[in-house]
Chains A and B, each alone.
Chain A
């Protein structure tokens, strides 16, 4: 394995598994600053994970193995997704391959586990969150696949590392297909990370929850797994945004070097959007995401037009 491949693997595992909680931490930190508060330190998610790790679980009456195993299923499918999403064009495959369409399957598995757990404890608020999450996921998944498909068409492969290589440079500015796909992916990014205007991660009102709803009953290590998984979701989509849809360097070393910077800038962008926009009506969110899907479809069309 060459140096750059080893470094890619190190960044991928270290960043995805260990440093991912820093991303939501940064967003929360800057959001507080932008709103004129002091806010928590960016390291707050780590502190919370440590605190939760020391606490014991609470099993609601009547819950079964489905409820107890859901956090592990979510955490393991998100870990598999970390192994899937490369940080540079030279990252070697880590067993699970590098295919973009596998990502959708792994995220769907996590969604299924959480929603099934909500049914298992028969908590109305959890079910409300789960049913909204699944509704929004319909247009998110279609838009995600279409946006990635544009990248795949430009790069000529559905392998994510191949796509990083194939879209390197400033293609997003010059190539309308990639530009439109980037717009679509930006909406997917907001939906998958559960941020405003689609969802409000800070809400404490059960009636307004989407992603947080199904987590209501969990405590202790179960909750730690789920919060860590939410952070990993940030890592996955932000890395994809940085390395496929935003301008990125040709050489793998430069890709690795610039990545932390781009991630920090994207976190700041998320904090800014959260400050400037209010949460939209839940039923309008699928429409917004469908607009993203249409943008990606136009991206495919413009790629096909360029070809002829």
Chain B
């Protein structure tokens, strides 16, 4: 039954995508795509809830196999939940014409590819889907815009994801070779093969997930894609990489050594803190959101690292709960990040540029989109009673339990992860106060913003649907957590309830907290009354309030920039032009350089280019030289064979 529903969803998506390409059937095609995605999500969550497994199991063979198990079903549900509103949004966001049609068609194919990676049950199908998943967004970006900077970014994206993405190939093929894919063999903990697979997977899949320091492509590629594609990339594509990590590290590799768990934990902590810190100093909305994806993948990987450490320490219940925390945050982030990217797309469509300092007051002009965007911001900031809070709470709990079950080294790693996550949560609040303030609140900062029009109905419906998902997932996370913990390949029993009542915690009764906050809030708001003496201008120490006094993104984050000066090394230039003792002009330029790009990648690229220049000397273009090379090679090989090194 569920299998048929999945097949029907795939057929609908495929047919819809084909129909999109022609302008006449564009609307019908998009509607079919959205219905297909909705069906995919429903079938996925249904299969996840009922715990059914169908289709093939994992094989090491090279013939195409497909199947669905609990983990796949959960990610399929997530894919559908995000893709349905995104595709509905795309139907109005894109202009039905040559480019719009191709983008809509490729977006549908992109969703199908993601589903294919999730359902693949043999190494080749998985890797083929993985490559297609990397290439399709590149094509989508280039169809959307083909200027010089977009082409350079796409080149960088493909280069980084392919060089580091080789890790995925190594990990999957090595795992198939070692016989752990079909569960035929269990590797000894700490053996060379196991470590090789684990490290290769962390590098390859971590690059695709946007983990620091391999994230360089993400904040460049995500902002320039069309909004629905950005939503799918940040919302689902990097989550498919998380799926890969969970599959390899938790499902296939068994018990990993402690140091590897600590390594995963530290990579997660670095991504979480680094992502949000750099997000704070971005002044373009979509770029800022892209940095937040790095932060949230960091939080997910913190949960995953806690899971590995706790599993090695033999605490099976909390290891499963840490896995559940990582997966729950994966789902939550998929929902609110796609909401935020779609909201940003709606704003861009109405007002043009998304430069943060030139927006303002959009909540008044676009109440539906703005309201949904506000809910998404509260959720990503991890505030109760929304969904981001529930999964961050569970991740924090998992990290508290790492020292509780651990030794000195892994215990301290857990405590550091805990501090990093707490600081990340506070920084995310800081960042999204800034976003909400600059985008939604205050006076509009340019004419186009003051005259912005609300988005058309399908786009409004899409963002409001995702915002309600944020609320619902925040109120009933308990229903998911028990089933998510059961995805761990070791037996656990955790009771299902609306609230998160877990052993060793003070419990998180999400429903009660939402009720208390809602009821108290409305009661106190009613008590406040409506008596207003007068409207008065804002207090500016007696000065007139002028547009020039408006606070900017850089101004609001300045205290933090100064506190972190030693680490971030911000650059600042002020030129004062005075004539006859009177200041005529002051120009200011400031930026926060991206340290990993400038200190790690730039030197690496420079030395690679230098090496290439040296290597070019070998290419003389003369036939004699090449014959000499060949003879030398043959001689070396013969000598090696004689010495018994090869053959």
Asked whether A119 and B425 contact (CB < 8 A) given A135-B430, A220-B531, A304-B406, the answer is: no
Set B407, B432, B442: member contacting A308, Cβ < 8 A: B407
Q: When the two chains form their complex, are residues B426 and A153 in contact, meaning their CB atoms are under 8 A apart? A: no
- Residues of B near A106 (CB, < 8 A) are 384
- Residues of B near A216 (CB, < 8 A) are 539
Check if A127 is an interface residue, CB within 8 A of chain B: yes
Q: When the two chains form their complex, are residues A158 and B416 in contact, meaning their CB atoms are under 8 A apart? A: no
Q: When the two chains form their complex, are residues A131 and B558 in contact, meaning their CB atoms are under 8 A apart? A: yes
Q: In angstroms, how far is the closest chain B Cβ from the Cβ of A89?
A: 13
Fill in one digit per residue for B409-453: 1 if any A CB lies within 8 Å of its CB, else 0.
Answer: 001100110111011011101101100111001110000000000
Set B412, B419, B504: member contacting A293, Cβ < 8 A: B419
Asked whether A120 and B540 contact (CB < 8 A) given A108-B382, A225-B528, the answer is: no
Using CB atoms, name the residue of chain A closest to B504: A157
Check if B507 is an interface residue, CB within 8 A of chain A: yes
Q: In the complex, A256 Cα to B109 Cα: how many Å? A: 65
- Residues of A near B406 (CB, < 8 A) are 304
Check if B521 is an interface residue, CB within 8 A of chain A: yes
- Residues of A near B549 (CB, < 8 A) are 124
- Residues of A near B408 (CB, < 8 A) are 301, 304-305, 308
Q: In the complex, A225 Cα to B423 Cα: how many Å? A: 28
User: Which of B129-137, B192-200, B284-292, B389-397 is the contact stretch?
Assistant: B389-397
Check if A104 is an interface residue, CB within 8 A of chain B: yes
* B476-507 interface (Cβ within 8 A of A): 499, 504-507
Q: In angstroms, how far is the closest chain A Cβ from the Cβ of B280?
A: 10
- Residues of B near A283 (CB, < 8 A) are 559, 562-563
* A97-138 interface (Cβ within 8 A of B): 97-102, 104-106, 108-109, 111-112, 115-116, 118-125, 127, 130-132, 134-135, 137-138
Check if B619 is an interface residue, CB within 8 A of chain A: no
Q: When the two chains form their complex, are residues A119 and B363 in contact, meaning their CB atoms are under 8 A apart? A: no
- Residues of A near B419 (CB, < 8 A) are 142-143, 145-146, 293, 297
- Residues of A near B524 (CB, < 8 A) are 72, 75-76, 225
Fill in one digit per residue for A35-78: 1 if any B CB lies within 8 Å of its CB, else 0.
Answer: 00000000000000000000111111110101001011101110
Check if B525 is an interface residue, CB within 8 A of chain A: yes
Set B363, B416, B532: member contacting A297, Cβ < 8 A: B416
Q: When the two chains form their complex, are residues B423 and A141 in contact, meaning their CB atoms are under 8 A apart? A: yes
Q: In angstroms, how far is the closest chain A Cβ from the Cβ of B298?
A: 15
- Residues of B near A71 (CB, < 8 A) are 528
Q: In the complex, A157 Cα to B318 Cα: how many Å? A: 13
Q: When the two chains form their complex, are residues A149 and B415 in contact, meaning their CB atoms are under 8 A apart? A: yes
Check if A16 is an interface residue, CB within 8 A of chain B: no
Q: When the two chains form their complex, are residues A122 and B538 in contact, meaning their CB atoms are under 8 A apart? A: yes
Q: When the two chains form their complex, are residues B433 and A116 in contact, meaning their CB atoms are under 8 A apart? A: yes
- Residues of B near A97 (CB, < 8 A) are 499, 506-509, 512-513
Number of B residues near A (Cβ < 8 Å) is 82
Check if A282 is an interface residue, CB within 8 A of chain B: yes
Q: When the two chains form their complex, are residues A142 and B422 in contact, meaning their CB atoms are under 8 A apart? A: yes
Set A101, A138, A156, A304: member contacting B427, Cβ < 8 A: A138
Using CB atoms, name the residue of chain A closest to B395: A101
Asked whether A149 and B418 contact (CB < 8 A) given A60-B537, A219-B533, A286-B563, the answer is: yes
Check if A221 is an interface residue, CB within 8 A of chain B: yes
Using CB atoms, name the residue of chain B closest to A162: B506
- Residues of A near B545 (CB, < 8 A) are 122
Set B418, B438, B517, B532: member contacting A146, Cβ < 8 A: B418
Fill in one digit per residue for A183-216: 1 if any B CB lies within 8 Å of its CB, else 0.
Answer: 0000000000000000000000010000000001
Q: In angstroms, how far is the closest chain B Cβ from the Cβ of A84?
A: 8
Q: When the two chains form their complex, are residues B429 and A137 in contact, meaning their CB atoms are under 8 A apart? A: yes
Q: In angstroms, how far is the closest chain B Cβ from the Cβ of A99?
A: 3
Q: When the two chains form their complex, are residues A217 and B521 in contact, meaning their CB atoms are under 8 A apart? A: no
- Residues of B near A120 (CB, < 8 A) are 437, 441-442
Using CB atoms, name the residue of chain A closest to B511: A95
Check if B550 is an interface residue, CB within 8 A of chain A: yes
Asked whether A102 and B393 contact (CB < 8 A) given A121-B538, A153-B403, A301-B408, the answer is: yes
Set B378, B407, B563: member contacting A112, Cβ < 8 A: B378
Using CB atoms, name the residue of chain A closest to B392: A105
Check if B400 is an interface residue, CB within 8 A of chain A: yes
Check if B551 is an interface residue, CB within 8 A of chain A: yes
- Residues of B near A101 (CB, < 8 A) are 393, 396-397, 400
Q: In angstroms, how far is the closest chain B Cβ from the Cβ of A119?
A: 3
Set B378, B505, B515, B535: member contacting A59, Cβ < 8 A: B535
Q: In the complex, A115 Cα to B539 Cα: how many Å? A: 16
Q: In the complex, A149 Cα to B420 Cα: how many Å? A: 13
- Residues of A near B532 (CB, < 8 A) are 56-59
Fill in one digit per residue for A267-281: 1 if any B CB lies within 8 Å of its CB, else 0.
Answer: 000000000000000
Using CB atoms, name the residue of chain A closest to B439: A119
Fill in one digit per residue for B510-548: 1 if any A CB lies within 8 Å of its CB, else 0.
Answer: 001101110011001101110111111111110001000
Q: In the complex, A127 Cα to B438 Cα: how many Å? A: 12
Q: In the complex, A153 Cα to B537 Cα: how many Å? A: 52
- Residues of B near A221 (CB, < 8 A) are 527-529
Q: When the two chains form their complex, are residues A119 and B438 in contact, meaning their CB atoms are under 8 A apart? A: yes
Using CB atoms, name the residue of chain B closest to A79: B520
Using CB atoms, name the residue of chain B closest to A293: B419
Check if B247 is an interface residue, CB within 8 A of chain A: no
- Residues of B near A72 (CB, < 8 A) are 521, 524-525, 528
Check if B404 is an interface residue, CB within 8 A of chain A: yes
Q: In the complex, A60 Cα to B537 Cα: how many Å? A: 5
Check if B610 is an interface residue, CB within 8 A of chain A: no
Q: In the complex, A115 Cα to B541 Cα: how many Å? A: 19
Check if A139 is an interface residue, CB within 8 A of chain B: yes
Using CB atoms, name the residue of chain B closest to A157: B504
Asked whether A108 and B525 contact (CB < 8 A) given A121-B538, A304-B411, the answer is: no
Q: In the complex, A57 Cα to B532 Cα: how many Å? A: 5
Q: When the two chains form their complex, are residues A130 and B433 in contact, meaning their CB atoms are under 8 A apart? A: yes
Q: When the two chains form their complex, are residues A60 and B538 in contact, meaning their CB atoms are under 8 A apart? A: yes
Check if B364 is an interface residue, CB within 8 A of chain A: yes
Q: When the two chains form their complex, are residues B513 and A96 in contact, meaning their CB atoms are under 8 A apart? A: yes
Check if A7 is an interface residue, CB within 8 A of chain B: no
Asked whether A135 and B378 contact (CB < 8 A) given A66-B441, A116-B441, the answer is: no
Set B383, B506, B562, B563: member contacting A98, Cβ < 8 A: B506
Q: Which of A83, A142, A160 has the most CB of B within 10 A?
A: A142
Q: In angstroms, how far is the closest chain A Cβ from the Cβ of B645?
A: 48
Q: In angstroms, how far is the closest chain A Cβ from the Cβ of B362?
A: 11
Asked whether A297 and B441 contact (CB < 8 A) given A61-B535, A221-B527, the answer is: no
Q: When the two chains form their complex, are residues B539 and A139 in contact, meaning their CB atoms are under 8 A apart? A: no
Asked whether A69 and B533 contact (CB < 8 A) given A125-B541, A283-B559, the answer is: no
Check if B260 is an interface residue, CB within 8 A of chain A: no
- Residues of B near A141 (CB, < 8 A) are 422-423, 425-426
Check if B557 is an interface residue, CB within 8 A of chain A: yes
Q: In the complex, A124 Cα to B541 Cα: how many Å? A: 10
Check if A80 is an interface residue, CB within 8 A of chain B: yes
Check if A152 is an interface residue, CB within 8 A of chain B: yes
Using CB atoms, name the residue of chain B closest to A117: B441
16 contacts between A and B (CB under 8 A): A59-B532, A61-B538, A79-B516, A80-B517, A95-B515, A99-B393, A99-B508, A112-B383, A116-B433, A131-B430, A134-B433, A138-B430, A142-B419, A142-B423, A157-B506, A161-B506
Query: Which 3 pairs across A and B sit closest by C-beta, in order of nearness?
Result: A119-B437, A99-B506, A159-B506
* 6 more A-B residue pairs beyond the given contacts A119-B442, A301-B412, with a C-beta to C-beta distance below 8 A: A62-B442, A76-B516, A105-B392, A121-B538, A146-B419, A301-B411
Q: Which residues of B contact A (CB under 8 A)?
A: 363-364, 378, 381-384, 389, 392-393, 396-397, 400, 403-404, 406-408, 411-412, 415-416, 418-420, 422-423, 425-427, 429-430, 432-433, 436-438, 441-443, 499, 504-509, 512-513, 515-517, 520-521, 524-525, 527-529, 531-541, 545, 549-551, 555-560, 562-563
